């Protein structure tokens, strides 16, 4: 079955650490996205990529980095510069007719 | 910048009734608007997309309307069931890159609870 796989499901980060969230899709979609969701808030766009080897900042890109070396993969790194990283992170892709989301990664700072 | 407002209060209805959720936006009318369902701890699931030149779209028990004059979309679930209980998100495009995968902005969602 086609879809988006995010891993890990739960991730714990110590202060000052960089962590990388994985996102893989087998839908052959060009466009991929990373969103952050906090309790009681809507999804906020972190980064997006419309084609391999190209990506743009979203509304809250500070403290995050991404790469898009392959069409199938769009990993997100949460750097130590992100001061409030505890949140639910969602990856998505689209062919223009609606987004397909992964099941999310819940990141907690310990 | 474009803002989306959904009812922040949870909507509680009885099984079999029609649930109506509201999505209002503030600035320019988007080329299209989408609705998603999200269950706790899960990613959103795409339900319906409606374009600016469409007034109404239906899919099974779901109906979406889009009024660019009022800057509003209404999402209806007819003959509601307890299994319809979830948070429903409204989203609209932030760019003109529709055919290439546009940027969506999301409302905060409305929680729907259908009681048996």
* pLDDT at B52 (0 to 100): 84
Which of A99, A103, A105, A107 to probe by mutation at the B interface, max B CB count within 10 Å? A99
Q: Is B109 on the interface with A (CB under 8 A)?
A: yes
Q: Per-residue pLDDT tens for B51-93? A: 888 989 999 999 999 998 899 999 999 999 999 999 999 998 7
- Which chain A residues are closer than 8 Å to B34 by Cβ? 98-99
Q: Which long-range contacts (CB under 8 A, 24 or more apart) does A97-101 make?
A: A97/B49, A98/B34, A98/B46, A98/B49, A99/A33, A99/B34, A99/B36, A99/B44, A99/B46, A99/B91, A99/B104, A100/A3, A100/A4, A100/A25, A100/A27, A100/A29, A100/B46, A101/A4, A101/B43, A101/B44, A101/B45
Q: Per-residue pLDDT tens for B3-47? A: 889 987 899 999 999 999 999 998 777 778 999 999 999 999 999
Q: Is B100 on the interface with A (CB under 8 A)?
A: yes
Q: Per-residue pLDDT tens for A43-88? A: 999 999 999 999 999 989 999 999 999 999 999 999 998 989 999 9
* CA-closest candidate to residue A82, choices A22, A20, A33: A20
- Tokens 């997309």 locate to B49
More confident residue, A96 or A105: A105
Question: Residue B43: which of A31, A42, A101 has the nearest Cβ?
Answer: A101
Query: Cβ contact (<8 Å) for A31 and B101?
Result: yes
The residues of A whose Cβ lies within 8 A of any Cβ of B are 4, 6, 29-31, 33, 35, 40-43, 45, 48, 50, 58, 88, 90, 92-104, 106
* pLDDT at B95 (0 to 100): 59
Residues in chain B: 116
């Amino acid at each position: 079955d086609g879809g988006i796989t995010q891993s890990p499901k739960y991730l714990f980060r110590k202060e000052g650490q960089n962590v990388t969230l994985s996102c893989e899709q087998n839908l052959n979609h060009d466009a991929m996205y990373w969103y952050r969701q906090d309790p009681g808030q809507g999804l906020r766009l972190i980064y997006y990529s419309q084609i391999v080897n190209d990506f743009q900042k979203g509304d809250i890109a500070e403290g995050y980095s991404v790469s898009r070396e392959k069409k199938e993969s769009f990993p997100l790194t949460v750097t130590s510069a992100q001061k409030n990283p505890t949140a639910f992170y969602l990856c998505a892709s689209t062919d223009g007719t609606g987004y397909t989301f992964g099941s999310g990664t819940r990141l907690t700072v310990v | 910048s474009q803002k989306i407002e959904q009812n922040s209060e949870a909507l509680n209805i009885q099984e079999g009734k029609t649930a109506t959720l509201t999505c209002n936006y503030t600035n320019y009318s988007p080329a299209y608007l989408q609705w998603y369902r999200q269950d706790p701890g899960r990613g959103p699931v795409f339900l319906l997309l409606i374009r600016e030149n469409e007034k109404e779209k239906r899919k099974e028990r779901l109906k979406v309307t889009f009024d660019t004059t009022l800057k509003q979309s209404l999402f209806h679930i007819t003959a509601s069931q307890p299994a319809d209980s979830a948070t429903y998100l409204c989203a609209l495009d932030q760019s003109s890159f529709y055919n290439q995968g546009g940027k969506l902005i999301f409302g905060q969602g409305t929680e729907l609870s259908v009681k048996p």
